[in-house]
Amino acid sequence: MFFHVRDLGIRAARFDVEVAPGQIDYQDGNLRQANVLKASGKAELVTGALGEMRVSGHASVVMEYDCDRCLEPARYPVDSDFTLYYRPVDEGYGDEKEIDGGEAEMGFYEGDGMELNHVLREHVLLALPMQRVCGESCKGICPVCGQNRNQKECQCRAVASDDRWSALREISTAGRG
Ligand SMILES: [Zn+2]
Ligand SMILES: [Zn+2]
């Protein structure tokens, strides 16, 4: 669904969509939808601001990624309201500036308008945590033997704590050899 700035000048556009996995390119190889994304809301022009668009609504989806620590697949449900603003790049708003006093996110669009899927992608990315882990208590993978320590403790702890030095030693030995 495309929001054409000219159409929004006449009236706000309402949307109520279901987006199947694969239709949005999250531009992140380690991020995928685990189910259908559902979103509804409206897109409108902001009064008195040249070509500025506001897209607001609600979206729900379950996202899936590989845990940063143990590499096992983990799921993160997104179910939240959003309000995103977009300004035309070519109206002299070009320099990215912080917007005063709001948590609202400001983006830019090129040309005639904005694709809804692009807005939804942005909302999902903002809703995800910075650290993508399967759980706060994830123990991760042992750097020495590769064992997933959530499943089984290995015996390499002492060695692991010292592995910066062993790495250095390896480098210097390799240099001599
Ligand atoms: Zn994990
Ligand atoms: Zn180990």
The domain segmentation of the chain, as residue ranges, is 2-127, 139-177
**Which ranges constitute the DSSP H helices of the chain?**
5-10, 116-127, 157-161, 163-176
The pLDDT of 173-177, averaged and rounded, is: 53
- Report CA(151)–ligand 1 centroid distance (Å): 10
Query: What is the pLDDT at residue 62?
Result: 98
Residue 152: predicted pLDDT = 92
> Average pLDDT of 147-159?
83
Provide the β-strand partners of residue 55. 43, 84
Q: What is the pLDDT of residues 135-144, one digit of tens each?
A: 999 999 999 9
Mean pLDDT of 22-48: 94
* Cβ–Cβ < 8 Å for 1, 15: yes
Does 54 have pLDDT greater than 50? yes
Given this model, what pLDDT does residue 163 score? 58
**Residue 94 pLDDT greater than 80, yes or no:** no
Which residues have a beta carbon within 5 Å of ligand 2, which is an ion? 142, 144-145, 147, 154, 156
pLDDT band (50, 70, 90) for residue 160:
very low
Q: Taking the model in full, what pTM does it have?
A: 0.78
Residue type, 35: N
